[in-house]
Amino acid sequence: MNSVIVVASGKGGTGKSTVAVGLSVALVQQNRRVLLIDCDCGMRGLDLMLDVESEILFDCSDAVSGNCKPQEAVYRSRNLENLCLMAAPFDTDNEISPSVFAQLVDELKSGYDYVIIDSPAGLGSGFICAATPADTGLVVTNAEPASLRGAVKVRRKLSELGIKNLRLVINRFDRGHFEQLGCYRDLDEVIDISGVQLIALVPQDNRLSAIMQNGLSGLNWCPAANVFSCLARRVEGEKVPLAFKG
Ligand SMILES: Nc1ncnc2c1ncn2[C@@H]1O[C@H](COP(=O)(O)OP(=O)(O)OP(=O)(O)O)[C@@H](O)[C@H]1O
Ligand SMILES: [Mg+2]
């Protein structure tokens, strides 16, 4: 175990942070210890999703630059004891070195079963930093052309970085909208174009969006919760069918 998973997409707004948080919560509910790292430097957001924003004194940039001890930049979620967060810095003044960040993750990971790193959009330095420590990549896409193009680019870049264990998450799926768009024959075509094996199909679920803005209360009760629970089991290597097939 001690797996380090980067959640990436290329295109912005596909649902990386939502998937990173949903997966983390599901893993914790399956008795795993998770450190979630927000690598979206300058666009800190996971502290809001976990409702710990008022507690953050140090972030991953402080931990990397030695302004604090690594553990001082780790905050425990209020509701889930085994879910911890390392926040992203508010600004991007100090660019984080990928190799130093990888060392930091290496130091921290023995205390957790999973380290889940939420990557920023794009393939720039923030993405490289987020991906460098990872052994596994979750490529998040929506079932539409611009998003899928981003997924292909991100898949190539993750492979170049030596991350062989890649899986696809198709997020915000709505069958009616998909058919109306008419861009693809079926979901298999989307998966084939991405070049990555599917691990989860997450429905378009407006309740999920509201829950993610409200400190996660009610997450267990929305339809997507079951999908994240199934995703977590699949990440653990269990052979379970997709919870949602569209
Ligand atoms: N399955 C879903 N159903 C409904 N809304 C969703 C779903 N997934 C994500 N969203 C919403 O889409 C928006 C973007 O999601 P999110 O912030 O997770 O994307 P992101 O890829 O992390 O974005 P960024 O590139 O800006 O970091 C948010 O408002 C979120 O609540
Ligand atoms: Mg995000």
- Joined together, the tokens standing for residue 114 give 């999973």
| 44, 46, 177, 209: residue to mutate for ligand 1 pocket, most atoms within 8 A of CB | 209
Question: CA-CA distance, 56 to 242, in Å (whole number)?
Answer: 36
Indicate which residue's Cα is closest to atom 5 of ligand 1. Answer: 209
Find the helix packing angle between 16-29 and 223-235, rounded to 10°: 70
Cα of 112 from ligand 2 centre, angstroms: 22
Domain boundaries along the sequence of the chain: 3-235
Question: Could you count the other beta carbons within 10 Å of the beta carbon of residue 195?
Answer: 14
- Whether pTM > 0.75 for this model: the answer is yes
Any idea which fold 3-235 has?
Answer: Rossmann fold (3.40.50)
Per-residue pLDDT for the chain (246 aa), expressed as one digit of tens each? 689 999 999 999 999 999 999 999 999 999 999 999 999 988 899 999 999 999 999 999 999 999 999 999 999 998 899 999 999 998 876 788 999 999 999 999 999 999 999 999 999 999 999 999 999 999 999 999 999 999 999 999 999 999 999 999 999 999 999 999 999 999 999 999 999 999 999 999 998 988 888 777 777 777 888 999 999 999 999 999 888 888
Indicate whether residue 206 lines ligand 1 (CB < 6 A). yes
To the nearest 10°, the Cα dihedral for 75, 76, 82, 88?
Answer: -40
